[in-house]
Chain A
Amino acid sequence: MKIKVLYFAGLREQVGSRGEDLDVPPGVTTVAGVRALLQSRGGPWQSALAQSRAVRIAVNQEMAAATTLVRAGDELAFFPPVTGG
Chain B
Amino acid sequence: MSDTVELLGLAAGFVAAGTAVGVVIGIPTRSEWLPTLLGVAPAVGIAVCGLAATLGAMVGLNVGLVTTAVLVIATVALGWGVARRRPAGVEALRAPRPSLPAVAIELAFAPLYAALAYGIVRLAAATPLDTWDGWAIWAPKAHALYAEGDVWGPVFREPTYAMQHQEYPVLLPSVDALAADAIGRFDANLVDIGQAMILLSFGLAAWALLRLVVAPPLAAAIGFALTGSTSLIANVDANYADTAVASFTAIGVLSLLLWLVRGPSTMLVLSALFLTTAALTKSEGLLFAVAAIVSAAVLARGFGRSLTAVGSFAAAVLALPIAWAIVDRLNGPGAKNVDVAILVHPSRFAAASDRIPTAASRLVEEIGQGWSLQLALVGLGIGAACLTREWWPALFVGVWGLLGLAALVTVYFLGTAPIDWHLGTSADRVVFSIVLAGATASPALVGLAWERIDEARARAPDR
Say whether A and B bind each other: no
Residue ranges of A at the interface with B (Cβ–Cβ < 8 Å): none
Residue ranges of B at the interface with A (Cβ–Cβ < 8 Å): none
